[in-house]
Chain A
Amino acid sequence: MVDALELAARIGSPLTESTFRDNRRMDVAATHILPLLTTLKNDFGFNMLIDLTAVDYLEYEGARDRFGVVYLLLNVDSGERLILRTAVNLPEATLPTATGLWRGADWMEREVFDMFGIRFAGHPDLRRILMPDEFTEFPLRKDYPVKGRGERHNFPVITRAGS
C-alpha cells in the first residue's frame, strides 16, 4: 500500500486522500502531477496507466475548479490500484503530458483534448481523435449543447438531379 504522507513528502506537495469502497483516491495540484506520476511509476511500481480521462465540474455542487483530470493507475505485480485527480481551469487548461511515462497515454490525452479542450504540453501529436479535424468545439464541455451548434447540418446537399 502506498502511503499518502510518504508520497506527499517525496513530491513536496500535499495530497488529499479519500476512499470510496475499494478505491483509494488522491487529489494533487496540477503543478505536481508529473512528479507524482513519475514517482509512482519509478519507485512504487505503478507500471500501467489504466485510463486517463476528465470531468467537467461546471455547475457541479461544491466544485471549485472547472475540470478534473483523472488518472487510473495499476501496479501489475501487486494488483494495487490508485486513482489520481488534478484540477485545471480555463482559459489555459494545460497539463504536462504523461506520454513520456506511458506511451498508452497518447490517444487518451488526445481524446481528453478532443472532448474537453484540455491541452497536454509536450504531447507528440495532439490532434483530434474522435471528431473531424475541422470541428472547432469541445463537445463534452457542459456549456456545449447536446444537439450541437449546427455542425451536423453543415454539409452540401446533393439533389437527385445534381448527382
Chain B
Amino acid sequence: MAVGLPENVFLTRLDAAANWARSNSLWPMPFATACCGIELMATAASRYDLARFGAEVMRFSPRQCDLLIVAGRVVMKMLPVLQRIWLQMPEPKWCISMGACACSGGVFDSYAVVQGVDRFIPVDMYVPGCPPRPEQLLAAIIDMQEKIRATGTVMGREFMARTSPMGPSPFDADELLRIKDASFVQLGGLSSPMGSVPRAGGSNHG
C-alpha cells in the first residue's frame, strides 16, 4: 500500500538524520601543543577554509566541542590535562590525532613524551605527517564525517562497543627492562592495558 506523503515531508531513519546533522557541524577543540597547531590554524584560516565543511567553530572550552584535535606532542605533564579535557567533552564526541608526535611520539622518544595519545585516550582518526599539510587535516575531517555518517547512531551505541584500549601496550620488553631498574615503581600502581604488569625482577620475564 503506497503511503501518501504530504508535501515537504520525507522519510528517513533517526540515525541518518542525526548523523547528517552531527557530521556537518563538528565543533573542534584545538589541543595544539606544537607546530601541528600552526597547520591547524592555517586549516581554519581563509586559504584552506575549514568552514566549507562546517567545522570552523573552534571552541576553547571542551564543554562546547565534539571533536578533539590533538595537534602536537603531548608530554607526561600534559597528559592528565588532555585526559580531563576529553572527559569534559559532552557526547557524542570524536578525536583526531594529528601528526606524527600525537600518533606515536614522533622523533621525541624520551622520558617526558607520551608515545602516542591513543595509548591513553580513544582516537578515531590518525593524520600522518610532520607536520601534516592542511590538506591532510581536511582529508581527515572529511573522512571523520564519512565515518560518522556510516557508523553513527543517535544514542551512540557504536561507542559502547569500544571497550578495549586502542594503542599498543607500552609494556614491551625494552620498556620492562628499564622499569625493572626503577626503585620507585610500585607495580600495583602501574596500569597496563594488557592486564597486570609482570613483576619486576621476577621469574622469567624481560
Contacts and interface: CB of A to CB of B under 8 A. Distances in A.
Interface of A: 131-132, 136-137, 139, 144-163
B184 A137 contact: yes
A146 B109 CA distance: 8
B87 interface: yes
Contact of B120 (A149, A151, A157): A157
A161 B190 contact: no
A68 to B, nearest CB: 23
B113 interface: yes
Contacts of B181: 145, 149
B119 interface: yes
B115 interface: yes
Nearest to A157: B165
B193 A157 contact: yes
B54 interface: no
Contacts of A139: 111-112
Interface in B183-206: 184-185, 189-191, 193
B79 interface: yes
Question: Interface residues of B: mostly helix, strand, loop or mixed?
Answer: loop
A163 B191 contact: no
Question: Interface residues of A: mostly helix, strand, loop or mixed?
Answer: loop
B173 interface: no
A152 to B, nearest CB: 5
Contacts of A132: 76-77
B87 A158 contact: yes
Contacts of A147: 109-111, 174-175, 178
Most buried by B among A131, A151, A155, A156: A155
Interface string B160-175: 1111111000110011
Most buried by B among A154, A158, A160, A163: A160
Contact of B161 (A144, A152, A161): A161
Given A148-B178, A152-B76, A155-B191, A163 B112 contact: no
B87 A163 contact: yes
Most buried by A among B86, B161, B174, B191: B191
